[in-house]
Amino acid sequence: MSPSEYTKDRRNCMGQQRRRALITGAAGQDGSYLTELLLNKGYQVSAMVRLGTSQNLENLRPAMEGPYSPNLSLLQGDMMSSESLLKVVRTALPDEVYNLAAISYMPYSWQCPTLTMDVNGAGVTRLLEAVRSVNPSARFYQASSSEMFGHSGADGQDETTTFRPVHPYGAAKLAGHWAAVNFREQYRMHISCGILFNHESPRRSRLFLTRKVTRYAACVSLHLAREKLVLWTLDPVRDWGFSGDYVRAMWLMLQQDRPGDYCIGSGKGHTVGDFVRMAFEFIGAENWREHITLNPPENFVVDKRANFVCKSTTARDVLGFVPEYDLNSLVKMMVENDILDIHNTLRTARMAMR
């Protein structure tokens, strides 16, 4: 049965009632794209953001100001509080839950490993228990990560590859992943895990390597770069895709009759150097190596085993999922967005000085 037929069957089962979705981590890169996708499909969306913070909601602005904004509700919640999550689930009463809340910046996990485990690991269990107590028939998506593979030593990874994380972020994500699998098996809940490989967008935080590169390339194109871009290495291989593509795979997982785990990626590996080269080629700077300097931390060694390339056969065959954007299109999109953003920032600054 095709994904469209699954969707039709689910709508018939639910009649004309608008489906309700709860998205945690909704203000992040993936959460904001998923919010827009579900609103466009006619969902009533409850978007959970961090409790007690002045979190930047810029990523959610298109959804909050779009034509379907009446179907969007913002809820505050805390992944470290069972009481908070229970209140959120009771308020949203979701048919589908998408857990995207996480501490997602890997280097930060070394600074705060306990907090990372509490949010990315135990937090998943808290949310699963809240959903089970309110509506165990709700379908649940868990955002797992290719970083769980770590030093698996595999030449490409799929759903059968051994997990061997090498940092607190990967270990915490694996804890959350196994919590989801355990609840699925123990309670027969419809829980699917998306093991997503690297995915980026113009909404990616500037803390991340890819956004640092595209932002710097934009500065070079506008003659605003004063210093070279400092990187650790150009060697690691990653499988990059567009976040706006990958949220479609999340949705497709919850439209299946049976839950499961799916590796989501492009199936193509590129080095960090490839990513940098593409960004500079887009702005016409073929001498890109002149703009960067390599300055790895002391005792830094590139581990050739930590190369991630997705074997996405299951997602293609079962979900019918094929990414629309290749890496070159993604890099172009990100650089163009950064050029426009810098233009707008400069214009705003000039107007403020008048």
pLDDT of residue 353: 81
Is 147 known to be catalytic?
Answer: yes
For the chain, the 3-state helix, strand and coil shares in percent, each to the nearest 5, are 50, 15, 35
Residue 320 lies in a domain: no
Residue 193 lies in a domain: yes
Residues 254 and 301 reside in one and the same domain = no
Q: Which ranges of the chain have pLDDT less than 50?
A: 1-15
The two three-digit tokens of residue 260, written as one number: 């499961």
Residues 115 and 42 reside in one and the same domain = yes
Residues 126 and 145 reside in one and the same domain = yes
Residues 21 and 87 reside in one and the same domain = yes
Catalytic residue, candidates 147, 200, 246, 325: 147
3-state SS, residue 216: helix
Residues 295 and 259 reside in one and the same domain = no
Catalytic residue, candidates 32, 104, 144, 145: 145
Residues 119 and 184 reside in one and the same domain = yes
Q: State pTM to two decimals.
A: 0.92
Residue 311 lies in a domain: no
Catalytic residue, candidates 98, 169, 216, 325: 169
Residues 119 and 57 reside in one and the same domain = yes
pLDDT tens digits, one per residue of 178-187: 999 999 999 9
Residues 219 and 347 reside in one and the same domain = yes
Task: Tell me the DSSP string of 319-347.
Answer: I----S--HHHHHHHHHHHHHHHHHHHHH
- The CATH number linked to 341 is 3.90.25.10
Residues 214 and 250 reside in one and the same domain = no
pLDDT tens digits, one per residue of 293-308: 998 877 666 565 568 9
Domain count, the chain: 2
Structural domain span for residue 276 = 209-236+270-306+325-353
Contact in structure between 105 and 113 (CB atoms under 8 Å): no
Residues 141 and 216 reside in one and the same domain = no
Is 84 known to be catalytic?
Answer: no
Residue 317 lies in a domain: no
- The CATH number linked to 68 is 3.40.50.720
Is 2 known to be catalytic?
Answer: no
Q: Give dist(CA 130, CA 88) in Å, integer.
A: 9
